[in-house]
Chains A and B, each alone.
Chain A
Amino acid sequence: MTDEAIKTHPELSETFNQDEARVDWHDETLWWIRQKRDKSAHSIPEWEMLRETASQIKNNVLSDLGKYLVSFEEKALANGIIVHWAADAAEHNRIVHDILQKNGIGQMVKSKSMLTEECHLNEYLEQHGIDVIDSDLGERIVQLAKEPPSHIVLPCIHKKKEEIGELFYRHLGVPEGTSDPQILTEAARQHLRETFLTRKAALTGVNFAIAETGEFVVCTNEGNADMGAHLADVHIASMGMEKIIPERKHLGVFLRLLTRSATGQPITTYSSHFKKPRPGQEMHIIIVDNGRTIQMGRADFRASLKCIRCGACMNTCPVYRRSGGHSYHNAISGPIGAILAPNLDMKKYADLPFASTLCGSCSNVCPVKIDIHQQLYKWRQVIVKEGYADTSKKIGMQLMTFTLSSPVIYRTAGKAGRWFLKHVPFAVNNKFNPWYKHRDMPEAPEESFGEWYKRNVKQK
């Protein structure tokens, strides 16, 4: 994708909003998941204490990440795992390709890993002649549709079952017009079972990596990470360097929080702890930086690295629910994506911190207490200061500064505004005024507060 081709969040949201019924459906579905999260969280009396503990553990991890990574590496090596370090996406992708080449493997099955989305691994491997099949059902669906996931936990939450039926009709041979989720899931099960049984390499993500033991934990409901890893000769696990937690017992805290926050389930079906390769198997871990050390240096934004990728902030966000994940044009969408993305490319993602009402709901549900809405607010200031705000916003801000800097100009502008609203409302009630979309302009008062005050109070 070239820079010119990138549409901004408002433009992409506008496309999504053309189908009002779909927006309502999307909104309600995600809100339903948010409600399930609430019910699940409220059933745990110590929920807030758990969040606070998780937050503090992650603060400790960030403050000593170098030491924990070295300890993790040492233990993992002792366990027989091969450890790689990747400074950026390109190096990560090269490492994966090298491992596959060394083993003479041309096909790989992959379970969910947002990191590989961030690194655009699939595209890279395809360019190098490697066939990659995503095995998470939602990810397989968006892969067949040639789309990126629109949600980190629910990759095809934007798709209707009829559209999935159509994809499966074309690619997996189900009868035309199938839309029963049970039948569609069964078709995917058969298709992917064949894939699991024939692939010699499997790539998985990492939910948690334990510095104390060198093991890593992968959570799925479908069992796809395990089906891939245990049947393959080569298991590659890609992890963002911030996935470290100090000790095994800390998993008790995080596994209690993760899925309750994500979907309201008490735990995922599978929480698999990979410590050593099975006899004859090769197990690799790739520790990836890709901008994380830079984010670590930004004091206002480093807490974003505490994220455990539950997606709760998306499900609750009024903007995400009504604009869809694709409007964020980034591997990770929603509020957390909007504070992570500008670190990777401030120009390309300058629009994202503005895709928020700053209502704070994201921060309230975050299981590790990231101050998401405050970071959104702070990113806006950085982006404007660095000159990346879009032109209309910049002109608007400059005009505001000019107007607010002088009482005379302020009073004149107010008067002019009231006159326009009253006498020529069409001058502002038109499509060139973005505020007017979905809203009526207010009725203009006869006088400003200043004028009223002068007349009523000062006279006395």
Chain B
Amino acid sequence: MSRDKILAALQQNQPELSALPSIPVFERDQELSLTEKFKAMAEGIGSKVYLVSSLQEVQEQMNVDFADEKRIVSTVASLVSAEIPAFELNADPHSYADVDVAIFEPLLAIAENSAVWITEDRMGVRALPFITQHIVMLVNSHILVPDMHAAYERIGRTDYGFGSFIAGPSKTADIEQSLVLGAHGPRSMTVFLINEV
């Protein structure tokens, strides 16, 4: 059996044990505002960022920005309204192929690269954040962390079936290094950074 052959060959050929290092604690610039850093990084990679102070502001802006979109779904209960219907579960992921806008509330937002961490339980279905034409993230400022080390500290050993760091709209530069937003996933990403008072 290949498994045993491979493991036996490794046993034979592996070098002497080399210790696993601990990840150093990197100094972080406490002066830097996480919100500002996140916003700058997000805009740098093609996301649109709104700093807001209430859910009502979010809804109003959504109604302006996505007025022409046909199918909008919200996995965020607090953002459901007459204009923004709630996500409804259909076991067949293909049924979301015509979604224009999908709204999510991620668990973490990372200032150093503007990625947001979201697990399956907040996606509706796994395909939704990828198949939707436009993606909207509701980011509460208390979920901001400085960097990926801090993000994994928070994630710890939590269990999930699927999770993803999502940073901006899908993109490609495969044709002569010209950046094009909207490769196979969302064409745009809008982040509402809501400052908790």
Q: Which residues of B contact A159 (CB under 8 A)?
A: 176
Chain A binding surface, main DSSP class: helix
Over the window 167-201 of chain A, the binary record of Cβ atoms lying under 8 Å from chain B Cβ atoms (1 yes, 0 no) is 00000000000000110111001001100110000
Distance in angstroms between the alpha carbons of A446 and B17 in the assembled complex: 59
Instruction: Decide if B18 touches A62 in the complex (CB within 8 Å).
Output: yes
State A287–B10 Cα separation when bound (angstroms): 14
A186 to B170, CA, bound (A): 12
Q: How large is the interface on A (under 10, 10 to 19, 20 to 34, 35 or more residues)?
A: 35 or more
Instruction: State A352–B18 Cα separation when bound (angstroms).
Output: 30
A277 to B149, CA, bound (A): 26
A86 CB–B CB distance under 8 Å: yes
Asked if A371 CB lies within 8 Å of chain B CBs, one says no
B97 sits at the interface (CB 8 A): yes
A271's nearest neighbour on chain B, judged by CB, is B165
CB contacts under 8 Å to B, within A155-169, are 155-157, 159-161, 164
The residue on A at minimum CB distance from B178 is A181
Interface string of A139-166 (1 = CB under 8 A from B): 0010000000000001111011100100
A56 / chain B contacts, CB cutoff of 8 Å: 18-21
Is the beta-carbon distance between A296 and B152 smaller than 8 angstroms? Answer: no
Instruction: Tell me whether B15 and A252 are in contact (CB under 8 A).
Output: no
Binds B, one of A64-72, A332-340, A410-418, A423-431: A64-72
CB pair B20–A60 under 8 Å, yes or no, is yes
Q: What's the Cα separation between A334 and B90 when bound, in Å?
A: 47
- Known contacts A189-B182, A252-B152; A267/B165 CB under 8 A: yes
| In the complex, chain A residues 49-84 whose Cβ is within 8 Å of any chain B Cβ | 49, 53, 56-57, 59-60, 62-66, 69-70
- A161-B176 contact, Cβ under 8 Å, with A252-B151, A266-B113, A297-B13: yes
Alpha-carbon distance between A66 and B131 when the two chains are bound, in angstroms: 38
Least CB distance from B41 to A in Å reads: 6
Among A59, A230, A255, point to the contact of B93 (Cβ < 8 A).
A230
Contact partners of B176 in chain A: CB under 8 A: 29, 159-161, 181
* A141 in contact with B24 given A182-B180, A267-B167, A297-B13 (CB within 8 Å): no
A27 is an interface residue with CB less than 8 A from chain B: no
Residues of chain B within 8 A (CB-CB) of A46 are 24, 26-27
Task: Given A63-B16, A185-B180, A230-B130, answer yes or no on A289-B114 (Cβ-Cβ < 8 Å).
Answer: no
Compute the total of residue contacts between A and B using a CB distance below 8 Å.
246
Which chain A residues lie closer than 8 Å to B163 at the CB level? 272-273, 275
What residues on B are CB-neighbors of A157 within 8 Å?
Answer: 177
In this assembly, does A319 line the interface, its C-beta being within 8 Å of a C-beta of chain B? no
How far is the CB of B167 from the nearest CB of chain A, in Å?
5
User: 0/1 per residue, B57-94, Cβ < 8 Å to A?
Assistant: 00000000000000000000000000000000001011
B43 at the interface (CB under 8 A from A): no
A85 on the interface (CB 8 Å rule)? yes
Tell me if A64 and B17 are in contact (CB < 8 A). Answer: yes
Does chain A have a CB within 8 A of B54? Answer: no
A184:B175 contact, CB within 8 angstroms: yes
**Contact of A276 with B by CB under 8 A:** yes
B6 and A248: CB pair below 8 A? no
With known contacts A91-B2, A156-B174, A231–B94 Cβ distance under 8 A: yes
Q: Is B126 an interface residue (CB 8 A)?
A: yes
- Interfacial chain B residues near A59, Cβ < 8 Å: 18
- B148 and A255: CB pair below 8 A? yes
Among B16, B24, B113, B177, the residue within 8 A (CB) of A32 is B177
- Bound CA–CA A63/B11 (angstroms): 9
Contacts A137-B172, A213-B157 supplied; 10 other A-B pairs, CB < 8 Å: A49-B26, A66-B14, A154-B174, A246-B20, A253-B149, A270-B165, A270-B185, A273-B160, A296-B10, A297-B13
A-B contact list, 24 entries, CB within 8 Å:
A60-B18, A60-B21, A138-B174, A156-B174, A181-B176, A189-B183, A193-B184, A197-B94, A221-B170, A221-B183, A226-B126, A226-B129, A230-B125, A249-B152, A252-B147, A253-B149, A267-B110, A270-B164, A272-B163, A273-B160, A276-B161, A280-B91, A293-B6, A293-B12
Binding site for A on B (CB under 8 A): 1-3, 5-7, 9-21, 23-24, 26-27, 41, 45, 91, 93-94, 97, 110, 112-115, 120, 125-127, 129-131, 147-149, 151-153, 155, 157, 159-178, 180, 182-186
